Amino acid sequence: MANDFDICIVGLKCYDLLAGESVPRYLGGIEKVLVSLAKGLAQEELKVAFITYDHGQPDAIEIDGVTIFKSFRPDEGLPVVRFVHPRMTKVWSTMRRVGAKIYLQMGGASETGVVGLGCDLVPGRPSFIFNIASDGDCVPELPFLHLGREIWLYKQGLSRADLVISQTRKQLQLMSENFSINSTTVPLPVIGPGNDFKPPAPPEPGHARVLWMGRIV
């Protein structure tokens, strides 16, 4: 299928955020980053596709300039075998339907390998970009992966990536030292305020405001 998409982002849990649902089923840092990236690229007039779970939404629906393709239902398939079918096979068939020039996936997981291997199945062998989500993606222990198949698939995807994006210089160093992979550091995308944004009035004397930038760990 020749859609001539410039890039396709694979983020299975991102549909609700893309659709602007008030109570999304999934809400995490990766999801917010990928949605911001997709909308930002669309605003730059790139042709952007996105692959998500099938929640019963129409296929190939366009929202904010991003065309969303559905893959498989989260509860679809039989235990054990569903890891391959439909979870891997339907992502691959959706990637072929999209036919993008570039595929991007974020966060070290089995999904990394699924997308990396899937690029080998798309005609013309599109480029694969892997975006590091945290330091845990860059260390040999891979603390967020617990099953052997997850670790194997992640490493398969990592080895197939045409470009690895790190968020920090530390991640760049860790990826080089532990996996012998050269990454490129790119700051996270952030959607700025709209034209109608009005900054709040400065605080009254003795009533200072505090803005917490970060998290408690």
| DSSP symbols for 79-101 | TTGGGTTTHHHHHHHHHHHH--S
2 within some domain: no
pLDDT of res. 1: 47
Q: Assign residue 73 the CATH number of its domain.
A: 3.40.50.2000
Residue numbers in the chain where pLDDT is lower than 70: 1-3, 191, 214-217
Residue 198 domain-assigned (yes or no): no
In a domain, 13, yes or no: yes
| DSSP string covering 112-181 | HHHHHHHHHHSTT--EEEEE--SGGGSSTT-TT--SHHHHHHHHHHHHH-SEEEESSHHHHHHHHHHH--
Token pair for residue 193? 């305020």
> Is 34 exposed, middle or buried, given 0-12, 13-18 or 19+ CB atoms closer than 10 A?
buried
Residue type, 40: G
pTM of the model: 0.87
Domain-embedded: residue 14: yes
Is residue 134 exposed (0-12), middle (13-18) or buried (19+ Cβ within 10 Å)? middle
Q: pLDDT (tens digit, 9 = 90+) per residue, 1-44? A: 456 999 999 999 999 999 999 889 998 899 999 999 999 999 99
C-alpha angle 91/96/102, rounded to 5°?
90
Domain assignment of residue 95, yes or no: yes
Number of structural domains in the chain: 1
Check residue 147 and give its pLDDT: 94
List the one residue out of 175, 168, 115 whose CA is nearest residue 142.
Answer: 175
Residues 151 and 57: their CA atoms lie apart, in Å, by 31
213 within a domain of the structure (yes/no): no
The reply to whether 23 falls in a domain is yes
Q: Which domain holds residue 11?
A: 7-185
Give the per-residue pLDDT at 173.
Answer: 97
